[in-house]
Structure 1
Amino acid sequence: MRIIPPLLCLAALLAAPLASASVRYEVKNRRIEPRQTLAQALHDAALPDAQVEAVISALEGVFDFRKSRPGDQFRLVLSGGVLDFFDYRQSAVDEWQVRRDGEKYVGSKRTIEVEKRVELVSLEISTSLYEAALAAGEDPGIGVVLADVFAWDIDFYRDTRKGDKARALVEKFVSKGRVLRYGEVLAAAYEGGLVGTKRVFRYQPGTEQPNYFQEDGTSARKTFLKSPLKFAHVTSGFGSRVHPTLKYVKNHNGVDYGAGIGTPVWAVADGTVTKLGNTGAGGNTVCVRHTNGFETCYLHLSRYGSGVRMGGRVSQKQVIAYSGNTGRSTGPHLHFALKRNGAFVNPLNQKYPRADPLPKAHLPDFLVKAKELASQLDSISVATASGGSGSEPQAAAAAP
């Protein structure tokens, strides 16, 4: 009797034609668990050793195994106990597959068609920007995008009022009818009961970096942001107060923002790091020196941002740290302090100058393009909470 080597047995089994009438398919859906490699996950899914090795071998050079992370999904399709198809998914646009092709397995990255569209998003705020996005049929991520664009003029926790309206001409990256993410905001408008009307337009002057400008060409950018957090509420203001742990009246030389541990903290302006480390009562702290005698400090942090170092430069909107609960703290929050010429001042009532306006040589071109974008911004009425998607035109009869 002739003994057939195990690998030849597997090859013969893989090469055997499928009998559609008798073959039973088995589908296994799994996730990568913490501290689990892909190979371990395949073994735990009861895939035979030889087939695990075949999948891993097929993916070499196609998938970077170091980027496998907990929560990634994969699917195994088996027929007669033999793997027919393996699908690995990290996101809506990041998928890999291994399929059986005769006697071998072939790995590849799936091609996902992504379409870039430019659409108008219209929101009316009832309670929050988040709720307004949902009411208009948009992904809540649009709120983060708008908060970024208007960061110099609007604190989207303190400054918003019921009935405020926002519009944005924005890039959408769409796959299979689903918005994967928002891209650049080409133009945006905000009509607020407290902040008034703000309109900004994205423009690239020659070979310089694109930036946002107002309709007359003045910069939308200011030297300081209104807040070191995109979304947070003030839990304790500037001035005298009864200290929550020391229980006596003490000056509160800054502003406390309620923020969960790990919330990204922005540098409110360009500057140089002058302090980085644990300061005792202040916990983990970062201080940054800016121009014109200003210095900002960020306290009670959980950790520091990537690349932030003592004496290093940081730029406005750079994530320099993450909020926490370190030091003398009664709960997760960010303490933000501002000094001017060595004396503490209230960060909430400062008026900062705008950056340099658009160079005159680019102004005529900008005005033409801004006018065109403005007409698109004003092309439809704003969706209300009871209306449909903000990207759909509203009936003329609904307009006031």
Structure 2
Amino acid sequence: MKTASLLCLAALGVASTSEAATQFEIKNRRIEPRQTLAGALHDAQLPDEQVTAVISALEGVFDFRKSRVGDQFRLVMKNGELDFFDYRQSTVDEWQVRRDGEKYVGSKRSIEVEKQVSLVSLEISSSLYEATLAAGEDPSIGLVLSDVFAWDIDFYRDVRKGDKAKALVEKFVSKGRVLRYGEVLAATYEGGLVGNKRVFRYVLPNGEANFFQEDGASAKKTFLKSPLKYAHVTSSFGSRFHPVLQYVKNHNGVDYGTPIGTPVWAVADGTVVSAGNAGAAGNMVVLRHANGMETQYMHLSRFGDGVRAGQRVRQKQVIAYSGNTGRSTGPHLHFGLKRNGTYANPLTQKFPRADPLPKELTADFLAKAHDLAQQIDAVSVAAVAGQAGPPPTATK
């Protein structure tokens, strides 16, 4: 017993001596404004020759031009010398430098990402945003759904309490955490105002993916319901008391209250008539569309890349960003619509759907839509507003 105790003490003594001989220090830092990676390493008091070694090890592995403010890095020092370095930009973007004898070796960390197909079920009590949180989903799924139903549903004006939405959607998952959503394969919306909507994603022979209804009719219309994904109407079409001019004046469009910098969509395919400053309208884009239609987007903060007179634009292309320029009392987007030169109320227009699925593809589409419909109908709505926890998922 005494001998065993002495052996234990001896073992403890050896461990203590070893720990005393090897000293570790860990430094956690972030990239600060106007700071390069090399500068950040110097500021962390890494010796000059080791800064050079780290930069050299990462050459060809990491693009230093993509270093961003807020990026995190860690230095593990062993007896005053660098033993390990890692640099992290996101959950899937991480680089490392390890000591290998007398040299340092850099690499990008391999992170396993799994693609799952899951059913997201929502029931709306106040807003789509709140419904996503109640279902344990990332709010970005709301943007995905608003994109899918952009031709039929204005997710600020048309949503009612008790509306239900479901989407069969790709999720990219790492270590149990959803990194991002991928493609929506099918989606349904049961609305008190808009009725029941049901769409399926189908890839055409040319590789282009579109959404179609169960009978093969296109889910797309020639015009979107709104030039913004999310916004609320602050001033409707018609006569109103002008807040700046202080008299009753025709309001030839719709005002959407939205923060400065919100992306603005082209509501339909068309050609840019003008893009520039227009006095009281501030920065403005005017688009000409088929069948004598014209749309106007006013009070913008800036224009989309390459948006200029004569350029062709596609529906859903970001043509500008909302702002507060010109005769404006606050950040908003003024959206105007003309039919054959006469202003019309954008909120009351009825637009035709795009071309349906070609007849020769109908049988293939119906078979694939039937399979997707079975998956989306297999699970009832599980995410009731206010209920904690994520909905059940179907994975394939």
Q: Distance in 1 between the 2:242 and 2:377 partners?
A: 49
Does residue 310 of structure 2 align to residue 338 of structure 1?
no
Q: Distance in 2 between the 1:59 and 1:209 partners?
A: 38
Partners of 2:136 and 2:388 within 8 A in 1: no
Provide, for residues 308-366 of structure 1, a one-character-per-residue CA deviation record: whole Å limited to 9, x for no partner.
22211111111111111111111111111111111111111000100000000000111
Shift of 1:223: 0.5
Match of 2:247, as an amino acid? Y
Does residue 91 of structure 2 align to residue 92 of structure 1?
yes
Counterpart position of 1:22: 21
State how 1:97-116 maps to structure 2 within 5 Å: 97-116=96-115
Q: Distance in 2 between the 1:344 and 1:71 partners?
A: 48
Match of 2:297, as an amino acid? Y
Q: Distance in 2 between the 1:200 and 1:207 partners?
A: 20
Q: Distance in 2 between the 1:173 and 1:250 partners?
A: 51
Q: Distance in 2 between the 1:123 and 1:130 partners?
A: 10
Secondary structure at the aligned position of 2:74 is classed as strand
Q: Distance in 1 between the 2:327 and 2:74 partners?
A: 48
Structure 2, unmatched stretches of 5+, are 1-16
Match of 1:339, as an amino acid? K
State how 1:341-356 maps to structure 2 within 5 Å: 341-356=340-355
Does residue 167 of structure 2 align to residue 168 of structure 1?
yes
Structure 1, unmatched stretches of 5+, are 1-17, 394-400
Match of 1:366, as an amino acid? F
Counterpart position of 2:384: 384
Secondary structure at the aligned position of 1:147 is classed as helix
Counterpart position of 1:5: none
Shift of 1:390: 2.1
Q: Distance in 1 between the 2:336 and 2:22 partners?
A: 69
Counterpart position of 1:275: 274
Q: Distance in 2 between the 1:24 and 1:160 partners?
A: 61
State how 1:135-154 maps to structure 2 within 5 Å: 135-154=134-153
Identical-residue share of aligned pairs (%): 76
Provide, for residues 363-389 of structure 1, a one-character-per-residue CA deviation record: whole Å limited to 9, x for no partner.
011111111111111111112122532
Shift of 1:70: 1.1
Q: Distance in 2 between the 1:288 and 1:391 partners?
A: 45
Match of 1:167, as an amino acid? K
Counterpart position of 1:122: 121
Counterpart position of 2:14: none
Match of 1:308, as an amino acid? V
Q: Distance in 2 between the 1:24 and 1:234 partners?
A: 63
Counterpart position of 2:239: 240
Does residue 255 of structure 2 align to residue 252 of structure 1?
no
Partners of 2:118 and 2:393 within 8 A in 1: no
Q: TM-score, normalised by structure 2?
A: 0.92
Provide, for residues 135-180 of structure 1, a one-character-per-residue CA deviation record: whole Å limited to 9, x for no partner.
1111111101101100000011111011100000000000111001
Provide, for residues 235-260 of structure 1, a one-character-per-residue CA deviation record: whole Å limited to 9, x for no partner.
11111111111111111111111111
Secondary structure at the aligned position of 1:354 is classed as coil
Provide, for residues 55-105 of structure 1, a one-character-per-residue CA deviation record: whole Å limited to 9, x for no partner.
111111111111111121111111222111111111111111111111111
State how 1:195-344 maps to structure 2 within 5 Å: 195-344=194-343
Q: Distance in 2 between the 1:46 and 1:387 partners?
A: 47
Q: Distance in 2 between the 1:157 and 1:20 partners?
A: 62
How many pairs does the alignment contain?
A: 376
Secondary structure at the aligned position of 1:91 is classed as coil
Secondary structure at the aligned position of 1:198 is classed as strand
Does residue 72 of structure 2 align to residue 81 of structure 1?
no
Provide, for residues 291-321 of structure 1, a one-character-per-residue CA deviation record: whole Å limited to 9, x for no partner.
1111111111111112222211111111111
Larger deviation, residues 26-35 vs 261-270: 26-35
Q: Distance in 1 between the 2:247 and 2:67 partners?
A: 52
Q: TM-score, normalised by structure 1?
A: 0.92
Counterpart position of 1:67: 66
Secondary structure at the aligned position of 1:106 is classed as strand
Q: Distance in 2 between the 1:244 and 1:332 partners?
A: 14
